[in-house]
């Protein structure tokens, strides 16, 4: 790399408090976890409800003012899903001129980490959290930009591969939120199990309890054509994407299972 990695500022609400060796504030790490998750979790506060809310939505990172920005750069997060009237009203509230404060998260489980004792069981995982302010996108050009980003986040090339551009009615009735990101963090756990010294020294225990990692990954299966599909052969951009995802998710899970556990984490686990 020819330049310094960008990182989000550590804020009191965004700082990972434990296992600090696993924490990352780098944009590229956080953005990659968010971008490779088909759905993200969006939490916001509705003053009329006694509970916070989590909505599953589709999230896509991009920059309308600087479309060449990539995953290592400052970007906005565009969210698509069912935008409830309470979400809209709140993101427009004059009491929150910056927009509605939201927390957006995504987690990938890469493996079940089975150790000698339940206490030290764990997951291999990658999780990312972003904090920011959400507002409805109203500019039609920006909305179109976001709709393309979101569609291509489901299958790259799908925008060009389907009936586009959407008509004015479709654009008007599509709700897109834009999150200006204030801070973010990621946590990543890799490696095999760890156990305390006493358990490790107990040979009978080690011969009785299987220890290791069950890799966990997402698979994209054989595409199923719709009843009204009129295309005989699955287009290459879909077939290639399915193959790429399957190779990458499996590689990530198996690599995580066989990587060394960072030293600092072993010590923490041993507490």
Identify residues 90-149 at the interface with a second copy (CB under 8 A).
Answer: 101-105, 107, 109, 112, 114-119, 121, 123, 125, 127, 129, 131-132, 147-148
Q: What is the DSSP letter of 7?
A: B
Among 27, 29, 34, 44, binds a second copy (CB under 8 A): 44
* Subset of residues 209 to 228 that bind a second copy, contact rule: CB under 8 A: 209-228
* Binding string, residues 12-41; x marks residues near a second copy by CB under 8 A: xx---xxx------------------xx-x
CA separation, residue 80 to residues 99, 117, 140, 150, 166 (Å): 16, 42, 15, 7, 15
Q: Which is nearer to a second copy, 23 or 72 (CB)?
A: 23
* Residues between 165 and 204 that touch a second copy (CB under 8 A): 166, 170, 173-174, 182, 192-193, 195, 199-200, 202-203
Alpha carbon 103 to chain centroid, angstroms: 12
CB of 176 to a second copy, least distance (A): 12
- Going through 25-170 in order, the beta strands assigned E by DSSP cover 40-44, 53-62, 76-80, 100-114, 122-136
Cβ atoms of 118 and 200 within 8 Å: the answer is no
d(CA 211, CA 36): 29
Q: Which of 51, 67, 97, 197 binds a second copy (CB under 8 A)?
A: 51
72's tokens:
């290592």
Site for a second copy, residues 61 to 80, rule: CB under 8 A:
none
């Amino acid at each position: 790399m020819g330049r310094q990695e960008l990182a989000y500022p550590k804020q009191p609400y965004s700082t990972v408090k434990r296992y600090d060796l696993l924490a990352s504030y780098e944009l590229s790490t956080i953005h990659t976890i968010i971008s490779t998750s088909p759905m993200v979790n969006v939490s916001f506060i509705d003053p009329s409800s006694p509970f916070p809310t989590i909505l599953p939505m589709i999230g896509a990172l991009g920059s309308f003012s600087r479309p060449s920005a990539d995953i290592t750069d400052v970007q906005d997060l565009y969210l698509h899903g069912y935008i409830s009237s309470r979400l809209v009203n709140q993101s427009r509230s004059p009491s929150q001129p910056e927009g509605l404060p939201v927390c957006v998260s995504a987690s990938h489980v890469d493996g079940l980490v089975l150790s000698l004792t339940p206490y030290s069981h764990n997951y291999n995982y990658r999780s990312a959290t972003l904090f920011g302010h959400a507002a409805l996108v109203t500019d039609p050009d920006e909305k179109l930009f976001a709709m393309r980003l979101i569609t291509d986040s489901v299958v790259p090339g799908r925008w060009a591969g389907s009936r586009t551009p959407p008509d004015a009615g479709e654009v008007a009735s599509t709700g897109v939120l834009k999150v200006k990101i204030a801070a973010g963090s990621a946590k990543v756990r890799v490696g095999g199990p760890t156990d305390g010294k006493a358990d490790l020294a107990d040979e009978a225990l080690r011969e009785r309890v299987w220890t290791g990692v069950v890799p966990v990954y997402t698979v994209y299966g054989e595409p199923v054509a719709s009843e009204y599909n009129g295309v005989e052969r699955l287009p290459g951009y879909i077939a290639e994407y399915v193959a790429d995802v399957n190779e990458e998710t499996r590689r990530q899970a198996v690599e995580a299972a066989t990587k060394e556990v960072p030293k600092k984490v072993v010590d923490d686990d041993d507490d």
